């Protein structure tokens, strides 16, 4: 089979819930990332993009009706460019990139775009249709922002626990202290702020028209371990997870340009990294935070390398506790140093707009490999309802 390569990536700044991007429609966020990606490769005729794969987790509001296709049209691409929308919850845009890569590797395409979007601010409330006309009782509107909704009563209760409760269970299983979680969160903010200050994200982020947001809105430059330690538990009265040591609710979009080796002339630039391996895994739904462990192990096996070879890891920080559990497991398998994980900050600081996060970590990983000169890296993400995805990149610059 052929190989597939990452050629470029961009994303919007990630806005806070009800923050600077709250007035921007979800499909417009998607179009901004897509247009920003194409602007990075002015020699590429957009009509030569074979397909667009777009991640989105909620899909209940302005992201309905195949938001990938909406993004193509709103970005001004030719109407002949096809697009599909992928929903694997938090892993949607990483899944989209994996699908695009496979399409290239089996020679069904030369050039493809993957990306994702989420506006958690603008996710609507939904009402279930009644079983009969004009019911006399009240009907509850259900938020689609995050987590379970309209749960099937046949699902075991332990499977449908809140995301926070599931991670408190992980904390108990692996005995990960509140102090470690707060230290991890403070590090995320510090490294993200440093990366922005040093210009690392300047070429990876495009502004959203009509807003003045130029950096990720959730980064707290003034946070500290001491400040985080004062926050109250969010999910259990005696718990360890707080609003400070898990990812916030966010709005944003990401996009990645992929192609074959021979597509370089058409795109007008050289590739950054090769898609060397992919992995996926599933556990009981309440253990979703730990699923990246086996997903990444599988991706490494398919790439033909081991953790000893890895010089950079981008792990989506849904919660500090699940991130620490994953990193501890990988250290035990040979990862050389925990400091190679999220060296430019992670989702606790940057944010986690569900459908956009996979594209963010993949693009950030490629940029980190180019900057450091390291050969191998892993992007991994946990996914609600018990799943995980991972991709291995090989630096080819």
**Residues tagged active-site:** 90, 352, 382
* Residue 310 near residue 377 (C-beta atoms within 8 A): yes
C-alpha distances in Å from residue 305, one per residue of 273, 277, 359, 363:
16, 9, 23, 21
DSSP-derived secondary structure for 178-233 = HHHHHHHHHHHHHHHHHHHHTTTTTTTB-PPTT----S-TT--TT--HHHHHTSPB
Please tell me the distance from the alpha carbon of residue 183 to that of residue 18, in angstroms, as a whole number.
27
User: Residue 24 has what DSSP assignment?
Assistant: S
Please tell me the distance from the alpha carbon of residue 142 to that of residue 246, in angstroms, as a whole number.
23
* Residue 128 near residue 139 (C-beta atoms within 8 A): yes
Structure tokens at 205: 């982020």
User: Would you call 194 exposed, middle or buried from its count of C-beta atoms within 10 A (0-12, 13-18, 19+)?
Assistant: middle
Pick the closest to residue 119 from 29, 31, 210, 192 (CA basis): 29
Structure tokens at 323: 């991130």
């Amino acid at each position: 089979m052929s190989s597939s390569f990452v050629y470029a990536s961009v994303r919007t700044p990630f806005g806070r819930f009800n923050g600077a991007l709250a007035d921007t429609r979800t499909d417009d966020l998607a179009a901004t990332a897509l247009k920003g990606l194409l602007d990075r490769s002015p020699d590429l005729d957009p009509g030569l993009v074979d397909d667009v794969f777009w991640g989105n987790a909620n899909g209940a509001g302005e992201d309905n009706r195949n938001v990938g296709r909406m993004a193509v049209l709103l970005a001004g691409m030719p109407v002949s460019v096809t697009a599909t929308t992928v929903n694997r919850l938090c892993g949607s845009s990483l899944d989209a990139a994996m699908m695009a890569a496979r399409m290239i590797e089996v020679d069904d395409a030369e050039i493809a775009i993957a990306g994702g979007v989420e506006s958690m601010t603008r996710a609507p409330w939904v009402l279930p249709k009644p079983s009969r006309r004009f019911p006399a009782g009240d009907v509850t509107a259900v938020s689609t922002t995050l987590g379970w909704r309209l749960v099937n009563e046949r699902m075991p209760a332990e499977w449908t626990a809140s995301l926070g409760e599931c991670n408190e269970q992980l904390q108990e299983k692996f005995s990960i202290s509140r102090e470690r979680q707060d230290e991890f969160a403070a590090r995320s903010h510090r490294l993200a702020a440093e990366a922005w200050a040093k210009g690392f994200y300047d070429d990876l982020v495009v502004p959203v028209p009509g807003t003045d947001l130029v950096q990720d809105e959730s980064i707290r430059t003034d946070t500290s371990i001491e400040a985080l330690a004062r926050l109250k538990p969010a999910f259990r009265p005696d718990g360890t997870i707080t609003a400070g040591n898990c990812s916030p609710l966010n709005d944003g979009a990401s996009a990645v340009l992929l192609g074959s080796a021979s597509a370089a002339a058409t795109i007008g630039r050289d590739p950054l990294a090769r898609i060397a391996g992919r992995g996926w895994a599933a556990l009981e739904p309440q253990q979703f935070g730990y699923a990246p462990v086996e997903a990444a192990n599988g991706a490494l096996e398919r790439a033909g390398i081991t953790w000893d070879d890895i010089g950079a890891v981008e792990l989506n920080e849904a919660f500090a506790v699940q991130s620490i559990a994953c990193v501890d497991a990988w250290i035990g398998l040979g990862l050389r140093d925990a400091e190679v994980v999220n060296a430019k900050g992670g989702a606790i600081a940057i944010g986690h707009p569900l459908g956009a996060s996979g594209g963010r970590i993949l693009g950030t990983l490629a940029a980190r490999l180019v900057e450091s000169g390291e050969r191998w890296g892993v992007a991994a993400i946990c996914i609600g309802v018990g799943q995980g995805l991972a991709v291995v990149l090989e630096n080819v610059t």
